[in-house]
Structure 1
Amino acid sequence: MRKLVINIFLGLVGLTIILLIAIGVTIWTYNLPDQSDKSLPPVSTVAKKQVIKKIKVDNSAKDFQRNFMVSDIHGRFASLKKALKDVRFTKSDRLFVLGDTIDRGPEGMHALLYLLHDLPNEGYHVVVLTGNHEDMWFQIASNGKDDSERQSNLNGQIDIYEGAAPDGWEESRTEWNKLTENERSYLLNEMAKGFNEPRMLIVKINGKWFTLSHSANFTKGYNKQSVNDLERYNQMQDNDDKFQQSIAEKLGVPESDVQTMIGHIGGLRFGVHPHYIDLDNTNTMNFKESPEVELYQVETGQMYH
């Protein structure tokens, strides 16, 4: 009799443990973040041309704890993630990317997916602008009526940039072929819209105005900038003031209240003019080694890597 009671007791204990485990698993599963909204949208028709607003002035003066800027990531995805981790980038901060996220390095497309889709879906604030490499890639990779034809056309001879393929195009093509059809479609449609941002963004941060673009023609006023001027032009001289002056006049503030941030050609203009900062640090890099990505913090005026 005693043995029977002990067996019944042990059986009840076992059932209780199993029940508690089942309840625990159910609660744990219930509390997991919803993954459904993180999936990319289904394949859609890829836009055949880019429709991007040229200039936008954002005077909403949204408050963020810190504001970071970076340009010309060029496929350095691992280094980008490390840099964001090192500065402890949070959902109270904001990151501006000034173009040329792709090409040269091996993971530009994954960096774009991370910046455009993954981080925003997790609640982070990221603004991505178009660079000339995204512009060229869209022209190359959108050539075809469907994904299969577009991929096939990528294997042909590319002659789109100064009589040759864009620098680092082979790395991008290799990575592109490894993406899913949904990922390729998503990126092409985002490129067609300019990532929902203008070629040049003028934004107010902590009482100061920042002009953000991949590049600019500083011999022209802001209202005369062409798409090419905002993507590929890079010939600033010591006495180039028309662009800066025209921005200040438009905003009705002293020129000292305007800071121009650009990328595109590393170091050629850094320090040439007190109101211009070039964020491209990629002049002499071996991109296969994923060299460091530098983040500029607006509040401190410092570069972090």
Structure 2
Amino acid sequence: MLDPRRLQALHAVATTGSVKEAAAALGYSSSAISQQISALERETSSVLLEPAGRGVRPTPAGELLSQHAERIFEQLAQAESELIALNAGQLGSLRLASFASAGAALVPPALAQVRAELPALEVTLRNADPEDALALLRRGLVDVALIELHGPPDEHEDGLAYHFLLPDPYRLLLPKGHRLATRDVVRLADAREETWVDLRLHKGCCRVEAHAAFERAGFTPHWVAEADDYSPAQGFVAAGLGLALLPSLALGVLRADVVVRPLTPDNEPRRDVYAVTRSALTGTTAVQSILAALTASAQRVH
């Protein structure tokens, strides 16, 4: 592989027509420039310069390499300029993945803040369950993943960096006029005789956390309906089919015919919301900007 420093010396000599002037332009001695040219000639098995009056001029081989050198250094300069812009958040992209309720409550204001700070940054968002979002993050397909956890994360797993955003306690959803709606705080055990609406999107640790609350309350819920999402769950509750446990972030838009009540602290299921990125990205302007914006958004919600 050709040595860029030798190509730089050749280009300077070919441009100025003088070893002495090339040396002055590059800040080297004339002998150092001559040595670089000689080494490049040995490397390429070509004569690159020939005498021209009191100076030198490039041979056809020297002219060819000099032209390539000019393009190479232009590309290097462009790469340096673009890298500076990328590190400053003035170029490039930011790819996010988020679960649905966080995407609705936390992400929109955060993205608006990032867009105002870094208008040239291309930002994309996709919906993904936490496990899928982490898989995308590990594969390098997204830069930041919003996930929910029940318990502390493994801070050293796969070189990922976890940034806590907020706790998200589950709330009890009741139809308006329900006997428990008159209370400011509800003991889950007092709802043991009620029917319940299950949510299919409560999977994995979310389902375990919610069902553990029923076990602590001393009863197994009588499921009468299953909802695919939070909005139809509200509809089932409003119709009086049953009660439901929903995380707070899922209650940003609430029907007028339902009531939300907190559970007693001794038996309140909760999830913690984190923004996760790869450790190698934590120092980039784009990731720092979205993490700061998500933190501010979480503080407003919480």
TM-score calculated relative to the size of structure 2: 0.27
Question: Which has the higher Rg, Structure 1 or Structure 2?
Answer: 2
